[in-house]
């Protein structure tokens, strides 16, 4: 199964605060092309750090991250080129508040891929239709609901035609009634074959959409399996404990 890995992580370690905090402690993992990999675990277990190391938003203390055959932790690699192919969606959306939805969407493709304004806007309208927000192109982020903001943030990442999408708790900051609309967009994306890594507390989503689940605790991957196996028949005592607390 290693041949179809789009991202593979070896011995990933990340320390913070002059080495006093070990957020990741020798993680080995891989993301396979076309799969939805769900990462779960208690607060502070290193899920966000793991995800942010995948596109080097967090620079690993040691270990390697290989993306499409290139070791992107190598200092000689131009990380900006590779990041264009790794979309990222944040818990707090991080839309640009001084720009309209359309400007949020077209900025990166225009500047980085040198698309014309027209070309970028056409693509943006296509994607906005897919998330049912074609009517909000002229709105500013503060005029949108949380669910709408997150759907726009997903579209902004999709504008660069990424090979993989990274999600860090995309629904954690949302009012409960808006969680569904964002998860629906993510489900549709998964169905369309997008490779996705999703850190989430939405176990329903993990079960339904996930191809594999990683359970992390104390900076290591404690258990890794299909959702059916991991949720139905957990092996590691920590996994059992974590899952029992959720119910």
Partner 1 sequence: MEAWFEGLKAQFHLNFIQGNRWRYLMEGLGNTLLITGLALVMGVAIGILIAIVRSSYDKTQMTAQRTPARRLFGALNGFCKVYLTVLRGTPVVVQLMIIYFVIFAWSDNGTMVAVLAFGLNSGAYVAEIVRGGIMSIDNGQFEAGRSLGFNYASTMRYIVIPQTFRNVLPSLMNEFIALLKETSVAGYVAVHDLTKGGDIIRSRTYSPFMPLIAVALIYLVLVMFFSWIVGKLERRLRSSDH
Ligand X SMILES: Nc1ncnc2c1ncn2[C@@H]1O[C@H](COP(=O)(O)OP(=O)(O)OP(=O)(O)O)[C@@H](O)[C@H]1O
Q: Alpha carbon 150 to chain centroid distance?
A: 12
In whole angstroms, the minimum distance from the beta carbon of 91 to partner 1 comes to 9
Listing DSSP states for the chain in one string gives --TTEEEEEEEEEEEETTTTEEEEEEEEEEEETT-EEEEE--TTSSHHHHHHHHTTSS--SEEEEEETTEETTSTTS-HHHHHTTEEEE-TT----TTS-HHHHHHHHHHHHS---HHHHHHHHHHHHHHTT-GGGTT--GGGS-HHHHHHHHHHHHHTT--SEEEEESTTTTS-HHHHHHHHHHHHHHHHTT-EEEEE-S-HHHHHHH-SEEEEEETTEEEEEE-HHHHHHS--SHHHHHHHHHH-
Q: How far is the CB of 1 from Mg ion (least distance, A)?
A: 27
Q: Applying CB under 5 A, which residues contact Mg ion?
A: 48
Binding mask 39-58 for ligand X (x = CB under 6 A): --x-xxxxxxx---------
Q: Which partner, ligand X, Mg ion, partner 1, none, binds residue 96 by CB below 5 to 8 Å per kind?
A: partner 1
Contact code string over 158-177 relative to partner 1, x by CB under 8 A: --x-----------------
**Residue carrying the six token digits 């993680």:** 27
141 lies in the site for partner 1, by CB under 8 A: yes
Binding partner of residue 49 among partner 1, Mg ion, ligand X, none, CB cut-off 5 to 8 Å per kind: ligand X
Smallest distance from the beta carbon of 199 to Mg ion, in angstroms? 6
Residue 238 contact among partner 1, ligand X, Mg ion, none, beta carbon within 5 to 8 Å by kind: none
**Per-residue binding letters, 39-68, with partner 1 (x by CB under 8 A):** ----------------x-x-x---------
Site for partner 1 contains 80 (CB under 8 A): yes
Residues that bind ligand X (CB under 6 A): 16-17, 21, 23, 41, 43-49
Residues that bind partner 1 (CB under 8 A): 55, 57, 59, 75, 80-81, 83-84, 86-88, 90, 92, 94-98, 107-108, 111-112, 140-143, 156-157, 160
């Amino acid at each position: 199964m290693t041949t179809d890995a789009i991202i593979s992580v070896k011995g990933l370690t990340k320390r913070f605060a002059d080495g006093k905090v070990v957020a990741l402690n020798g993680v080995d993992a891989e993301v396979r092309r076309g799969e939805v990999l769900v990462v779960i675990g208690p607060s502070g277990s290193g899920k966000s750090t793991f995800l942010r190391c995948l596109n080097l938003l967090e620079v690993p203390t040691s270990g390697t991250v290989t993306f499409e055959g290139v070791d992107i932790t190598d200092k000689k690699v131009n990380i900006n080129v590779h990041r264009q192919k790794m979309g990222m969606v944040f818990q707090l959306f991080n839309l640009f508040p001084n720009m309209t939805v359309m400007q949020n969407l077209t900025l990166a493709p225009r500047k980085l891929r040198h698309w014309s304004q027209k070309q970028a806007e056409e693509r943006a309208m296509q994607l906005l239709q897919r998330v049912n927000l074609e009517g909000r192109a002229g709105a500013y982020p503060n005029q949108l609901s949380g669910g709408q903001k997150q759907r726009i943030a997903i579209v902004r990442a999709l504008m660069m035609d990424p090979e993989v999408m990274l999600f860090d708790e995309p629904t954690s900051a949302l009012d409960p009634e808006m969680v569904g609309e964002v998860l629906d967009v993510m489900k549709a994306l998964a169905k369309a074959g997008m490779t996705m890594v999703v850190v989430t507390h939405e176990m329903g989503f993990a079960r339904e959409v996930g191809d594999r689940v990683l359970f992390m605790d104390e900076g290591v991957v404690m258990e890794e399996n299909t959702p059916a196996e991991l949720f139905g028949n957990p092996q590691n005592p920590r996994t059992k404990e974590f899952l029992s607390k959720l119910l």
